[in-house]
Amino acid sequence: MERRRLVRVPASSANLGPGFDAFAAALAIHTEIEVVETGKFAVVTDLAIAKDRRNLAVRGFERLHPPDDFEFRIHSDIPLSGGLGTSAAAYVAGLLAADHLFELDTDLLALATELEGHPDNVAAALLGGFVICADGTATRFDAPTGLEAILVVPHEAVRTKEARAALPAEVPMADAVFNVAHASLLTLGLARGDWDLVARGLADRLHQDRRAHLFPKSMDIVKRATSLGALGGTISGAGPTVLVWCHYEQTGAVLDALRTQTAGWANVLRAPLEPHGADVREL
């Protein structure tokens, strides 16, 4: 009998301003992977990704079970190499498919974090909503009513390895204190639905300015987001995508302004915050 599983995993935006490697949010753009027991190995996709065992979904699956007898049919609407958790979504999809097929009841967050190297994107992909990662676990909570997101996705990608290399091994104490304070403000603002606190809490001194030379146009959008009517903007993960934070009453006008500002070098799209995490169905 041919066993099948369909896994659907959301995109994610990590760091969220001051929350470097600790904060993330799930976004309603998805990767879908159908895993079918055909008796031979194959990766079937139109995406510009590995079609052999280097494929990240296959590597996730293989962490729990040999993929030799399975075909992986992959579709994704998540922009590649934009800082939107594509690798996290792929790892989570492969892990979840194997875990469900073989009824393993695995600690998926731990394994996905091991594969990805940091927990924020994989936690948001698994759990949905907003997540704060600490001590090997993730605490999830829902977005406040009225909060919406817009993505500015540049046509030119930035390699995550290059973005990581731009960060120093140590940061000044004043910058660390600044980020702790503003991460706290952001968390409190999200918990209360206090838009002023959310806007204040998006400020960062740890990673965004230090990477600005890699995506100057993206950083210009971050700095001008409030003047366009948004609550603020943050570099999504390692960039260069920008997550623009809006109250729903602002979203339409901000969307139009961003499309004008980024014509020719980026795509602009609405990306609702996703309350639901990864899902797997038996077909």
Domains of the chain plus CATH, in order, are 4-141+274-282 (3.30.230.10), 147-270 (3.30.70.890)
Q: How far is CA 64 from CA 10, 71, 85, 137, 207, in A?
A: 21, 16, 21, 20, 34
CA-CA distance, 140 to 61, in Å (whole number)?
25
27, 12 contact by CB (below 8 A):
yes
Threshold 0.85, pTM exceeds: yes
Q: What is the pLDDT of residue 164?
A: 85
* CB 265 within 8 Å of CB 245: no
Helices (H), the chain: 56-62, 86-101, 108-116, 120-127, 160-165, 173-192, 195-201, 216-224, 251-261
Q: Report pLDDT digits (tens) over 190-215.
A: 999 999 999 999 999 999 999 999 99
Amino acid at 19: G
Residues of the chain with pLDDT under 50: none
Two tokens, residue 97: 């498919």
What integer pLDDT is reported at residue 67 of this predicted model? 97
Task: Report pLDDT digits (tens) over 227-273.
Answer: 999 999 999 999 999 999 999 999 999 999 999 999 999 999 999 99
Closest CA to 26 of 145, 149, 130, 141: 130
Which pLDDT belongs to residue 1?
Answer: 60
Task: Give pLDDT, residue 81.
Answer: 72
